[in-house]
Amino acid sequence: MERLKSLLRFLVKGIRVMEKISMDIVMVTLFGLMILGAADVIGRYIFNSSITGTPEIGKFVLVVITALGLAQTQMDHSHVSVEILYELLPHPVQRILDLICTLASMAFWGVLGWQSVVIGLQYAKAGRRLQTIGLPTAWLQYLAAIGAFLLSFELLFQLFEIFRKKDEVDYVDDTLEKEVEI
């Protein structure tokens, strides 16, 4: 059992490092998109010449930012959710819903990652490129796959948390409720 725990800790640390690297890539990419957009606007209005392929690059950069930011957003529990009815349900029912939603999400993102790899391989084999600037498109599929797989692992870790919590009440929520009552 101890070997399994140490293996799980190692896996979690590795995934956390990959998530950190992906967020660094997101920050650099977002900064690059900002510079590219500003340079394109300046070039268009001052020099009457825009940068070729800026809209296409912008679209693909947004894919990179979204794909690589998914796992971090899930880790921070920052995805949009509607909890109006969820909060009214008994705690055991909430846990069952958490379990079902996490398993379904894990399956969805796992399949999406797998299919992104398959499509990326097909794009690479076909030599598919952006028409305007000739940039290969297979790497975008691979980045989408990395983001989907990181999110799947994050959901797996949260699945372990669902089982670990049992019927514990979240301390933070409990503390906030006491503060509101006062």
pLDDT at 166: 58
- Axis crossing angle, helix 54-75 with helix 138-165, rounded to the nearest 10: 10
Whole-model pTM: value is 0.77
**CA angle centred on 108, ends 83 and 85, rounded to 5°:** 15
CB distance 151 to 71 below 8 Å: yes
Kindly report, residue by residue over 31-42, the tens digit of the pLDDT. 999 999 999 999
Kindly report, residue by residue over 91-149, the tens digit of the pLDDT. 889 889 989 999 999 999 999 999 999 999 999 999 999 887 888 889 889 999 999 99
**Residues found in the chain:** 182
* 137 burial level (CB within 10 Å; 0-12, 13-18, 19+): middle
Kindly report, residue by residue over 88-98, the tens digit of the pLDDT. 889 889 889 98
Q: What is the share, in percent, of the chain residues with pLDDT greater than 90?
A: 38
Token look-up 């503390």 returns: 175
- Domain with 63, as residue range(s), is 2-181
Number of domains in the chain: 1
Distance CA 43, CA 37 (A): 10
